Amino acid sequence: MTDRQTVMELRPGTTPPSEMDSDAAAGELAALAAAIAWHDERYHGEDDPAISDSDYDALVARNRDLEAAFPDLVRDDSPSRRVGAPAAAGFGKVRHTRPMLSLNNGFSDEDIADFVTRVKRFLSLADDAPLGFTAEPKIDGLSLSLRYEEGRFVQAATRGDGTEGEDVTANVRMVDAVPARLAGTPPSILEVRGELYMDRADFLALNMAQQDSGGKIFANPRNAAAGSLRQKDPAVTASRRLQFFAYSLGEVSAPLADTHMLSLEALSDMGFSINPLSRRCDEVADLLAVYGEIGAARADLGYDIDGVVYKVDRHDYQARLGQVARAPRWALAHKFPAEQAETLLNAIDIQVGRTGALTPVARLAPVTVGGVVVSNATLHNEDEIRRKDIRVGDRVVIQRAGDVIPQVVRVIPEARPAESTEFVFPETCPECGAPANRPEGEAVRRCTNSLECPAQRLEWLKHFVSRDAFDIEGLGARQIDQFVELGWVRRPADIFRLAARRTEMAELDGYGDVSIGNLLAAIEARREIGFERFIFALGIRQIGQATARILALHFTRPEEMLAALSPPADLETTTAELVAIDQIGEAMVADLIGFFAGDSNRAAVEDLLAQLSVVPPERPAEDSAVSGKTIVFTGTLAGMSRAEAKARAESLGAKVSGSVSAKTNYLVAGADAGSKARKATELGVTVLNEDEWLAMISGDGPG
């Protein structure tokens, strides 16, 4: 059954599996395994398919139907087991050619009106100027990027941190909703972004099957979709019914259309599912009307959505608008109101976080909210407890904010027990007993014991290995808990010394030679790390990913950062330099300096640096005339808005500051320039008018 002519001409049998005996089924499964393997080699190995996609799909479908009817006859060389390569140590990494951005959120009609106003202001459009948008349901699933070359599917990656995701190609090949080959004449390179999701009916069926087999019960369809995709064995993914809606583009070798809506229509023609509720809108009122229509239909859709996404329709406008931090300026997610439920508050516990914050958590009688069982909810801080007069024993109304984080909305006073008493917030850390101070003007009380507090140290280490920080495969919160309890890890640098614990690790439950080898290899792979990830991983209060990137570009090397922020450095000068950088404020700088003021913190960072090679950040547009220069804009520009000018300068590698200093290289002065222009002249800073600035960045002006 393996000669070329036989496998090429094989067609799926027509006898229903229910009418076949085991011998006949086994014979056909053997024939199908050989034929599909041969066609896979022709398609993937030789790029010379011998049959059409539909004929190939029919063979695969027949194989799947027979295996479902005769599970005992599933072969070791079955196509359902063979397609793709199971990742023994998790998934490899894929660097996105274009970042996969997240979305900023809006929750009210005013937020949407403000969004439209901001866009028009950025583009220097009049308030009454036409500006088209699309409105699309926001699917509650897993974001994917699919890459096609010459119309053939070649790679799939998750969003990850927006820059680097997981390679899930083998598993996505098993998803029927993702086209293996595109119809028509697509560009030679086409990246399609979209959402992988699971219908509610399929989710319920999966959980019933999982319960019957003693498997994991998923909390909601999104978790089920993500869990189904992230399987080491692609055959498991194939057994789950996953769907895919395309909603945007990544890298393309040639544009599909001038607008987003027309691009969606082109993707539909190629074979992708496009959400049928997507609409084009012209005014804020149109956007809100679509939001209302989709919200009203939400319960009957059959799949979960948590809002509506608005996007500027024109691609040239999208390009001009660009992004801020990790979200595009040209899109906004309008989230639905959270669902609510009533339950009993059994206790209030205090958790100590990475930055020492004491956070009150409500322990609740379990209740279902929006399809998820909730037993804990945040109470935010002591002022929130006092303002809402929340007490143990109260009946409370809870909701999931943004359909994610449970929180207590209010108490039900008439149901309060007669013996209830006010909750007294602790003034000492419940983990280490150190004083918990509340700085003036802040709502949060913090443990003063820094990283000597075991709770802070533990959360710090968990943050250090998290996905957006060092992202060490196989080293998560559970492993950190275990290694800290054993005394193996007290500082981040200890993670890179775990190889010396290999013999001891082998004595732990769940650690075999292969898993230990994989973990240690993943740790070794992270001995080289980008500077911005390094800064973010330190877990310094107020220093998120966007700020870490700015600091990495400013300092370039960790040794320079340590020297500038640690005693006996001139901290007044350092503060002035950092505050002059756009998006960095005095409070951020104070937290930076405060972190490095601690002897134990500095020692931990120096110990870590001895284990690593930190890679300087890639600077954008190194060859531009303004790369590395500090620019200040003032006055009204005629050809673009100030926000657009700032974004353009940053894309060329410049640093944009809000104030003029001796370190300013250029002041770009528009109409009605005032005190900044006078100060620049006094300091000898080069002042450019708008035409001179545009000539410079186009390569025609002085560098």
The angle at the Cα of 550, spanning 544 to 556, to the nearest 5 degrees, equals 120
Do residues 648 and 697 lie in contact, with contact meaning Cβ atoms separated by under 8 Å?
yes
Residue 36, classed as helix, strand or coil, is helix
What does the H/E/C string look like for 685-702? CEEEEHHHHHHHHCCCCC
Do residues 247 and 236 lie in contact, with contact meaning Cβ atoms separated by under 8 Å?
no
φ/ψ (deg, to 5) at 288? -70, -35
- Tokens 């200040």 sit on residue: 632
Q: How far is CA 425 from CA 352, 379, 416, 437, 600, in A?
A: 13, 12, 20, 12, 29
Residues 6+ apart with CB under 8 A from 158: 142, 143, 144, 145, 165, 166, 168, 229
- Over its C-alpha atoms, the chain yields an Rg (Å, rounded) of 29
**DSSP class of residue 545?**
H
Do residues 42 and 8 lie in contact, with contact meaning Cβ atoms separated by under 8 Å?
no
For 348, the enclosing helix (H) or strand (E) is strand 340-352
Do residues 378 and 405 lie in contact, with contact meaning Cβ atoms separated by under 8 Å?
yes
What does the H/E/C string look like for 370-418? CCEEEEEEECCCHHHHHHHCCCCCCEEEEEEECCCEEEEEEECHHHCCC
Of 556, 621, 68, 133, the residue nearest 334 (C-alpha) = 133
φ/ψ (deg, to 5) at 75? -85, 155
Q: How far is CA 191 from CA 147, 165, 262, 563, 622, in A?
A: 4, 14, 16, 43, 27
Q: Maximum CA pair distance of the chain?
A: 94
Given the residues 120, 138, 311, 335, select the one marked as catalytic: 138
Please give the Cα distance from 404 to 374 (Å, whole number): 10
Do residues 331 and 309 lie in contact, with contact meaning Cβ atoms separated by under 8 Å?
yes
Do residues 496 and 481 lie in contact, with contact meaning Cβ atoms separated by under 8 Å?
no
The angle at the Cα of 281, spanning 276 to 282, to the nearest 5 degrees, equals 170
What ranges in 83-199 are assigned the alpha helix state H? 109-122, 169-172
Do residues 224 and 218 lie in contact, with contact meaning Cβ atoms separated by under 8 Å?
yes
Of 607, 598, 592, the residue nearest 490 (C-alpha) = 607
Burial of 203 (0-12, 13-18, 19+ CB in 10 A): buried
The angle, 0 to 180 degrees and rounded to 10, between the axes of the packed helices 109-122 and 284-297 is 140
Do residues 459 and 353 lie in contact, with contact meaning Cβ atoms separated by under 8 Å?
yes
For 593, the enclosing helix (H) or strand (E) is helix 586-597
**DSSP class of residue 168?**
-
Beta bridge partners of residue 26, listed in sequence order: none
**DSSP class of residue 245?**
E
Count Cα neighbours of 580 within 13 Å in the Cβ-side half-sphere: 18
629 is catalytic: no
Residue 239, classed as helix, strand or coil, is helix
Please give the Cα distance from 646 to 224 (Å, whole number): 42
Residue 349, sorted as left (phi over 0), alpha (psi -120 to 50) or beta, turns out to be beta
Of 169, 176, 156, the residue nearest 56 (C-alpha) = 176
Please give the Cα distance from 351 to 362 (Å, whole number): 11
Catalytic site positions = 138
